[in-house]
Structure 1
């Protein structure tokens, strides 16, 4: 069975590099990144790698153009009140976003082991809810989430709401992916058994 890894919020490829390790036997990686600055770096880095597809948009709840604040930094976000710790250059750029459930429906067609990493600076809960609402989340083998909603007063409540929803639905394949040991949880879930 094919093993596919989706990196939502690819930035400059930190997690893609990790997922490419031979021990994980990932067949295909999709890197989603709306920032033109980060895209340039990703395309240079992976243009010759047949296992990596870099997509020039982010995933969200609808297909649209949105202002990306702190574009090009590790704190690039669609949220105006996002409190980043990366000390970015203040920059706002219109960027393309695609509805997550539409992309899944159109691109994840065959049966596969699907791994999903979301580090998208406050949009992660909306993306998971979009996938749950549409039934597309059922395709996910294991998801890793960095609850960046904590850094924005306007959406901080969404973490608790999502956790309660997942509990009610008895979904336990979404793992917290935060802090300096973030890749340890990935090793335990990505390793081929």
Structure 2
């Protein structure tokens, strides 16, 4: 069980982060998506890939049951004072798993793990559990959205956690550093994985990634990222197109 490449999607929602992680250019051996709302977890499970394992639970600190407020919305949180976003809904009782215990049980010391945290305040509990368990060395990259800053009861925990991450040498990026401007969550997570060194070399893998992203362009929920990349590439490609058009012997009039 050593030497694997693993992607942990903490806060799966509808699976856009999973789709980014399944890009062949990253060649993950396992992709775990943690989503406590059954309807959303079932939606993620419709993504057909044998590497994908959907866990119907929160990743947190400690095992047990917990109340999830505004379940199914973009702001679903275990903290009652978290702000609403995308509509309110009655609380649900959901399962939670201890992050450190999960890593200890399902990953090995030689595995390389990239972890995305977008879980409306629970990111602090997840990171505390991993750091307290001495398992942070398994993390090759973390994308952490410090949603706790938006939650009055939790915002005081952010600065100490940043200090702990820095002291432990955990490589992490925030959305401001890698997701802004990427249009969709798919694009933001893919860009983070590229910046976090998850890309593997190889012409065959690059070709497979190109084909995969061409297929993703048929999905209106994620293709804003691809349209943005095409628009950005247009000024670069235009001179090449003109030079090919004006080349002698191409059958065109001068």
Deviation at 1:42, TM superposition (A): 1.6
Counterpart CA distance in 2 for 1:88 and 1:107 is 35
Q: Which has the larger radius of gyration?
A: 2
Q: CA RMSD in A?
A: 1.6
Deviation at 1:110, TM superposition (A): 5.6
Counterpart CA distance in 2 for 1:177 and 1:99 is 24
Counterpart CA distance in 1 for 2:55 and 2:62 is 16
Matched residues, number? 189
Q: Is residue 137–residue 170 contact of structure 2 (8 Å, CA) maintained in 1?
A: no
Q: Find the counterpart in structure 1 of residue 43 from structure 2.
A: 41
Unaligned 5+ segments in structure 2 are 183-187, 202-254
TM-score, normalised via structure 1 length: 0.91
Q: Find the counterpart in structure 2 of residue 31 from structure 1.
A: 33
* More strand by percentage: 1
Which stretch has the larger CA shift, 94-103 or 160-169?
160-169
Q: Is residue 58–residue 98 contact of structure 1 (8 Å, CA) maintained in 2?
A: yes
* More helix by percentage: 2
Q: Find the counterpart in structure 1 of residue 81 from structure 2.
A: 81
Q: Find the counterpart in structure 2 of residue 127 from structure 1.
A: 126
Counterpart CA distance in 1 for 2:53 and 2:170 is 28
Q: Find the counterpart in structure 2 of residue 165 from structure 1.
A: 164
Matches within 5 A, 1:92-131: 92-109=91-108, 111-131=110-130
Counterpart CA distance in 1 for 2:16 and 2:109 is 27
